[in-house]
């Protein structure tokens, strides 16, 4: 320990972020030491933020939580593996690139190596080749990631930036393709041609996990279907445009009204197609008229009916979301064909209007449409309702069709330590509610392609049943520009040649491998052995069903084990009005602006006060409190160090000093336990409460003594106690306030505080010896009474008191600190203590201010 020559005249928070961020970078403070063994390491599967635009305050909030844990574990002596990833793979980047540059991908165009996007995005998007498109995706992602990295450094994340990855980089692509090939080899990946939820804007299939419901206006249309006996069956539908796709009319088997319908047929309105009347338990008698038309396909229930009742297929919705040009099978009559022509090629919206006109004209629309609001399925990033289109897609088994696998994955969830524990229920609810396997193929461009090709027969038709697989050694591959083993590029698309699988993987199919990607799976076996399975997966609760579950699925398949031991689930940021903070609002307050205005420590303080898993209000007030705390740390450190830092634990003999250290030992113990349980908020609360009373009471009490008013020995005890307490408190705050604690630590200590040892309650207790924490309370109570006496008389705290009498059960306790109390209260006359021994009487203080001077 050196002299306090490092204490500045006027301590300030200004510029701490830049100064220490640079220093940490230069010193490699957070560099991962890969010579350490697995049991010495704490590894983190950092969430890769979507690199599509701007960070918002939610990122600052949740990434701080992870950093709190990382810093705590590092101070506990664990070597922390804390990488950073960027999720730049997928639709968000594509969409941002389209808008940013004013381009769109046309995979049929040839690559133009000289292409540069227009300076200003044109109104009409410029079509570019797939390769040009991907190059621009990479370029913009790199720019965004640079900006994100600056914010995260300024925020003080203790990431080792040498361990960074992108979900589109070669390592990620190879890992995703390798994992897929192994899934395929084990039978966990398969392809199937089936009705698929389809986004007509993006023209891609989407998975169950990416759906959301939105309330949309609609209308019931009561339609007449005609029976052979001349009677009608009335059916309410919200989708009259699908009458042409109707393949049956269904009702509940117990519905007496429709008993005669079952086994007979009806003719559809307008088109006059004869369809069977069928019974199925999913038909609900209370809905509409109790009878429904089954279309291929209007919704997922239609798919169930179609499959289970083995109905015909009469698809009319194309990939583009428009009505197909040609009528489906079954619409044979001239009238039907003519009617169909009216809707062919139309969008859903237009088709519905025209269909209603046709129905009205034919008299088969009974009454007028009755407007309603009803939930409609959307792709979570989409703008138009999903349609259902039959396509060939790749699936990964996730238990959605296999009760045994599902049970095993639920069991995996129980092996995992969830913080907070109740988040496990969300996982189980999701897994138990799965209704199909994981659809992983997407008809998009900017993503990881499937590492396979299909041979073309002599007729030029692909054989999907015998794909040509890439070899693991060749990964990553791009089947759209590379030829498969045993073929040459000129055979692409030719009879007897091959075609590449045109699809890319769902972005979750890559990000479900982040522990493997970051850990160096099959790329750096040494590293992988040291960090995998990881210790922690931090993430938000809204992506338990996607990211967390997907990662468990992949690790279970490949390693038959969990990918990590702990999952820390953070909450969301709420607007002051208690609503989830929208992206638009979150972006009004940019993270960098927030950090610059309040200081990173202050914003971190606000984040740290949000308990794990709890949604937290965006609260500038908390940040101001955090800033005040950081300033207090500067001033208190300056003061204590100004008294002379004394690393002499044996000098601490005064009962009050020992009491303070004993109480601090309790605080250390509580903070440690809280951090071990991932409850950083509780740890902070305990530390902060102690710190303020340390500053307001203890410092005031011992100030005089520390100056030497009662001799060198008494002063040495005070100084040694203060030094030790300061050192401990600086370290307790270090995870939350990394900048200011590093600053004050540098005034008197060697090395970074963030590599310093986390304080030990036991060692503190050794120094505190017989210190009694209750003494602190007793003395504080007396001090408050002395102050109150002055405050009520509007006296300065410097005013002298003629005397005071302390009575109560703990008066004797407080008498031990009589001299300190006398000094802090400026009592010039007698100060007496009498233990009245009455447990029901609290400690009272009679203050004699009669002769008080000013």
Q: Which of residues 417-446 bind RNA (CB under 7 A)?
A: 422, 425-426, 429-430, 433, 435
User: Does residue 232 touch RNA according to CB under 7 A?
Assistant: no
The least CB distance from residue 784 to RNA, in Å, is: 4
User: Does residue 291 touch RNA according to CB under 7 A?
Assistant: yes
Residues 667-686, interacting with RNA (CB under 7 A): 682, 685
User: Does residue 584 touch RNA according to CB under 7 A?
Assistant: no
| Interface residue with RNA, options 337, 342, 631, 828 (CB under 7 A) | 631
Could you give the 3-state DSSP secondary structure of residue 103?
A: strand
User: Does residue 471 touch RNA according to CB under 7 A?
Assistant: no
User: Does residue 309 touch RNA according to CB under 7 A?
Assistant: no
User: Does residue 239 touch RNA according to CB under 7 A?
Assistant: yes
| Interface residue with RNA, options 345, 493, 593, 642 (CB under 7 A) | 642
User: In 748-820, at which residue ranges do the beta strands (DSSP E only) sit?
Assistant: 803-807
Site string for RNA, 513-542 (x = CB under 7 A): ----------------------------xx
Place of tokens 């990173």: 600
CB 295 within 8 A of CB 328: no
Name the β-bridge partners of 195: 390
Site string for RNA, 72-111 (x = CB under 7 A): ----------------------------------------
Q: State the Cα–Cα distance between residues 229 and 227, nearest whole angstrom.
A: 5
Binding segment for RNA (CB under 7 A), chosen from 165-173, 204-212, 310-318, 496-504, is 204-212
User: Does residue 842 touch RNA according to CB under 7 A?
Assistant: yes
User: Does residue 582 touch RNA according to CB under 7 A?
Assistant: no
Binding segment for RNA (CB under 7 A), chosen from 93-101, 277-285, 350-358, 555-563, is 277-285
Q: List helix spans (H) across 156-292.
A: 170-185
Q: State the Cα–Cα distance between residues 668 and 691, nearest whole angstrom.
A: 12
Q: State the Cα–Cα distance between residues 788 and 113, nearest whole angstrom.
A: 80
Stated length of the chain: 854
Please choose, from the candidates 520, 457, 530, the residue with its C-alpha nearest in 3D space to the C-alpha of residue 494: 457
User: Does residue 565 touch RNA according to CB under 7 A?
Assistant: no
Residues 334-393, interacting with RNA (CB under 7 A): 374-377
326 or 842, CB closer to RNA? Answer: 842
Q: State the Cα–Cα distance between residues 765 and 760, nearest whole angstrom.
A: 9
685 or 819, CB closer to RNA? Answer: 685
Please choose, from the candidates 572, 576, 574, 630, the residue with its C-alpha nearest in 3D space to the C-alpha of residue 600: 630
First to last CA, the chain: 42
Site string for RNA, 696-735 (x = CB under 7 A): xx-xx--x--------------------------------
Please choose, from the candidates 251, 252, 219, the residue with its C-alpha nearest in 3D space to the C-alpha of residue 237: 219
Binding segment for RNA (CB under 7 A), chosen from 234-242, 351-359, 409-417, 736-744, is 234-242
User: Does residue 211 touch RNA according to CB under 7 A?
Assistant: yes
Spell out a b/e string for 301-324, using b for 16 or more CB atoms within 10 Å of the CB, else e: bbbebbeeeebeebbbbbeebbbb
User: Does residue 807 touch RNA according to CB under 7 A?
Assistant: no
264 or 689, CB closer to RNA? Answer: 689
The least CB distance from residue 431 to RNA, in Å, is: 11
The least CB distance from residue 366 to RNA, in Å, is: 13
User: Does residue 288 touch RNA according to CB under 7 A?
Assistant: yes
The H or E element spanning position 214 is: strand 211-227
The least CB distance from residue 785 to RNA, in Å, is: 8
Tokens read off for 481: 């520009």
The H or E element spanning position 707 is: helix 699-707
Residues 764-803, interacting with RNA (CB under 7 A): 783-784, 787-788, 790-792, 794-798
8 or 485, CB closer to RNA? Answer: 8
Please choose, from the candidates 105, 162, 169, 119, the residue with its C-alpha nearest in 3D space to the C-alpha of residue 142: 169
Place of tokens 């089936």: 194
The least CB distance from residue 284 to RNA, in Å, is: 3
User: Edge-to-edge strands of the sheet including 189-199?
Assistant: 204-205, 189-199, 387-396, 438-439
190 or 692, CB closer to RNA? Answer: 692
| Interface residue with RNA, options 3, 27, 212, 838 (CB under 7 A) | 212
User: In 117-160, at which residue ranges do the beta strands (DSSP E only) sit?
Assistant: 126-128
């Amino acid at each position: 320990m050196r002299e306090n020559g490092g204490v500045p005249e006027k301590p300030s928070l200004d510029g701490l972020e830049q100064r220490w961020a640079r220093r940490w970078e230069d010193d490699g403070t957070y560099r991962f030491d890969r010579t350490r063994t697995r049991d010495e390491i704490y590894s983190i599967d950092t969430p890769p933020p979507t690199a599509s635009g701007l960070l918002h305050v939610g990122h600052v909030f949740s990434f701080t939580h992870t950093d709190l844990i990382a810093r705590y574990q590092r101070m506990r002596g664990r070597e922390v593996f804390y990488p950073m990833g960027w999720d730049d793979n997928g639709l968000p980047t594509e969409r941002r690139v389209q808008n940013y540059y004013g381009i769109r991908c046309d995979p049929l165009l040839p690559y133009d190596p000289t292409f540069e996007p227009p300076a200003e995005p044109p109104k009409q998007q410029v079509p570019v080749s797939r390769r040009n498109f991907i190059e621009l995706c990479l370029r913009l992602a790199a720019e965004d990631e640079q900006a994100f990295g600056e914010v995260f450094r300024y925020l003080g994340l203790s990431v080792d930036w040498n361990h960074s990855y992108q979900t589109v980089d070669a390592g990620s692509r190879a890992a995703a393709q390798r994992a897929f090939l192994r899934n395929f080899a084990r039978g966990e990946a398969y392809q199937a041609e089936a009705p698929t939820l389809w986004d007509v804007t993006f023209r891609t299939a989407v998975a169950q996990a990416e759906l959301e419901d939105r309330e949309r206006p609609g209308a019931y249309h009561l339609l007449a279907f005609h029976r052979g006996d001349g009677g009608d069956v009335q059916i309410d539908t919200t989708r009259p445009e699908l009458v042409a796709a109707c393949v049956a009319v269904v009702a509940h088997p117990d519905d007496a009204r429709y008993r005669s319908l079952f086994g007979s047929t009806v003719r559809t309105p307008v088109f006059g197609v004869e369809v069977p009347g069928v019974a199925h338990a999913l038909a609900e008698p209370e809905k509409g008229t109790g009878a429904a038309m089954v279309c291929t396909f209007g919704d997922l229930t239609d798919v169930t009916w179609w499959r289970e009742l083995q109905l015909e297929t009469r698809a009319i919705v194309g990939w583009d979301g428009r009505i197909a040009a040609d009528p489906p099978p079954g619409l044979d009559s001239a009238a039907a064909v003519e009617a169909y022509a009216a809707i062919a090629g139309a969008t859903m919206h237009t088709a519905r209007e025209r269909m209603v006109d046709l129905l009205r004209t034919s008299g088969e629309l009974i009454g007028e449409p009755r407007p309603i609001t009803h939930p409609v399925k959307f792709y979570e990033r989409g703008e138009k309702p999903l349609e259902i289109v039959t396509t060939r897609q790749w699936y990964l088994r996730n238990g959605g069709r296999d009760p045994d696998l599902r049970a095993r994955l639920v069991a995996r969830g129980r092996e995992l330590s969830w913080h907070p524990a109740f988040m496990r229920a969300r996982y189980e609810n999701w897994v138990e509610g799965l209704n199909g396997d994981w659809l992983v193929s997407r008809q998009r461009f900017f993503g990881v392609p499937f590492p396979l090709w299909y041979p073309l027969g002599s007729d030029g038709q692909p054989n999907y049943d015998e794909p040509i697989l890439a070899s693991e050694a060749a990964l990553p591959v791009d089947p759209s520009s590379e030829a498969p083993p045993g073929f040459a590029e000129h055979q692409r698309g030719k009879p007897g040649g091959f075609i590449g699988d045109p699809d890319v993987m769902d972005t979750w199919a890559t990000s479900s491998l982040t522990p493997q990607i970051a850990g160096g799976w099959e790329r750096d076996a040494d590293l992988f052995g040291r960090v995998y399975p990881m210790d922690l997966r931090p993430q938000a609760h809204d992506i338990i069903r996607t990211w967390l579950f997907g990662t468990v699925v992949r690790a279970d398949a490949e390693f038959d084990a969990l990918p990590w031991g702990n999952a820390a689930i953070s909450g969301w940021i709420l607007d002051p009005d208690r609503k989830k903070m929208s992206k638009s609002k979150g972006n009004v307050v940019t993270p960098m602006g927030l950090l610059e205005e309040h200081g990173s420590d202050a914003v971190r303080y606000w984040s740290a006060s949000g308990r794990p898993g709890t949604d937290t209000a965006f609260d500038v007030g908390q940040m101001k409190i955090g800033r005040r705390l950081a300033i207090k740390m500067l001033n208190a450190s300056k003061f204590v160090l100004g008294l002379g830092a004394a690393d002499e634990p044996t000098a601490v003999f005064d009962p009050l000093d020992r009491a303070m250290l004993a109480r601090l030992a309790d605080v250390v113990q509580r903070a440690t336990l809280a951090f071990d349980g991932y409850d950083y908020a509780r740890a902070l609360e305990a530390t902060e409460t102690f710190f303020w009373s340390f500053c307001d009471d203890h410092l005031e009490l011992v100030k005089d003594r520390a100056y030497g008013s009662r001799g060198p020995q008494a002063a040495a005890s005070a100084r040694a106690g203060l030094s030790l307490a300061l050192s401990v408190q600086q370290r307790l705050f270090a995870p939350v306030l990394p900048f200011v604690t590093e600053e004050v630590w540098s005034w008197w200590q060697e090395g970074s505080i963030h590599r310093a040892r986390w304080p030990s309650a036991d060692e503190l207790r050794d120094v505190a010896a017989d210190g009694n924490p209750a003494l602190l309370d007793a003395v504080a109570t007396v001090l408050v009474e002395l102050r109150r006496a002055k405050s009520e008389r509007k006296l300065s705290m410097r005013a002298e008191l003629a005397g005071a009498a302390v009575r109560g059960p703990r008066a004797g306790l407080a008498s031990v600190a009589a001299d300190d109390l006398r000094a802090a209260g400026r009592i010039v006359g007698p100060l007496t203590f009498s233990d009245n021994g009455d447990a029901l009487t609290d400690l009272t203080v009679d203050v004699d201010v009669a002769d008080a001077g000013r």
